[in-house]
Amino acid sequence: MTNEKKTQVREALIRYVGNFSSQAIAAESLQGISSSTISQVKNNNWELLSDHLWHTIARQVGFYSGDYNYSGQPADTSAYLLLRILFGDAQHYAMTYGIAIGTGLGKTFTASQYSRENENTFYIAGHDQYNRKSFMIALMQATGLEAKGSVPQMMEQFTNHVISLDEPLLLLDDAHKLKDRVLHMVVLLANSLAGKAGIIVMGSGDLRMRVIDGVRLKKVGFDEIYKSIGRRFITLSSLGPRDVDLVCHANGIYDEDLINHIAGACDNNLHTAIQLIHQSQISQAA
């Protein structure tokens, strides 16, 4: 990873930590990232931090700096093509979609890249440590607004700003990590932005089951959540038959034996496939 991208990840991490009452609590919300590692990144002590660790941080704080092709060109995998179609549809026609997608299929990479490539598109990753206020602070920061005032005041400022933009889109990733009260806030936002902005509520298959079970058990607020996304989830649970081939080819790997090995070892997870590709590139360069 280049120093330029590391600087961008560092800035994203600092914004992320700012959503929590302390750095220690922020670290607890991240997998495989300690408070001391956060301090190293913040203080530019990068010498002992591996590229894999940088990518791990980037994915979790909403800046996916790795890509399926290390020169910057993504592969047209099943998830990549489907998600970009849905994102574009939501943005251009002010639609709200619920998407349940398997882990490791590339949703975070696709959402992050789409938000960088398209104006008035705002990406935010859900976290289980968010309460209503910290979630609104994260939304305000994602749109470049100063986060101040009460939750209702921030919601009003946020919605007024978003609807003033041309074809705005809010991409909410990892929504399955959000507490019920925060998910209910997403419904309020969706209602206030209906017909004026596109909204993508995206998470793992657990999100779909949680919402459907909530509706079936008549839990407070869940029918409203399901209604806000049109009472359906668009689902994708596994890699397509050629997805690993496409990722390998995008990275300059054409050896069929190696591709078959990566496909068999990645366990339906492109993150793992990319790590294996990277390892093979290092071995070949050695």
Note the pLDDT tens digit of each residue in 108-158: 888 888 888 899 999 988 888 899 999 999 898 888 888 889 999 999 999
With a CB cutoff of 8 Å and minimum separation 6, the contacts of 251 are 68, 69, 70, 277, 281
| Residue 71 confidence (pLDDT) above 70 | no
* CA-wise closest residue to 28 among 1, 60, 66, 51: 60
Instruction: Put residue 86 in one of left, alpha, beta given phi > 0 → left and psi -120 to 50 → alpha.
Output: alpha
Sheet order of strands, 233-236 included: 121-125, 169-173, 198-203, 96-101, 233-236
Lowest model confidence (mean pLDDT) among 15-24, 37-46, 152-161 = 15-24
Contact indicator for 25, 19 with CB cutoff of 8 Å: no
| Residue 261 confidence (pLDDT) above 90 | yes
Q: Is the pTM of this model over 0.85?
A: no
Cα–Cα distance for residue pair 195/57, rounded to 1 Å: 35
Question: Which residue type occupies 129?
Answer: Q
| Residue 66 confidence (pLDDT) above 60 | no
Cα–Cα distance for residue pair 21/121, rounded to 1 Å: 27
State residue 51's pLDDT score: 79
Q: Which two tokens stand for residue 63?
A: 């800046």
Percentage of residues of the chain with pLDDT beyond 90:
47
> Could you tell me how many helices (H) and strands (E) the chain has, helices first?
14, 5
| Residue 72 confidence (pLDDT) above 50 | no
Give the pLDDT band of residue 31 (cuts 50, 70, 90): confident
Q: Which two tokens stand for residue 195?
A: 């017909």
**Mean pLDDT computed over every residue of the chain:** 87
- Beta-carbon count within 10 A of 3 CB: 9
* pLDDT, average across residues 166-173: 95
- The dihedral built from the CA positions of residue 146, 149, 153 and 154, taken in this order, carries a sign that is positive
State residue 60's pLDDT score: 73
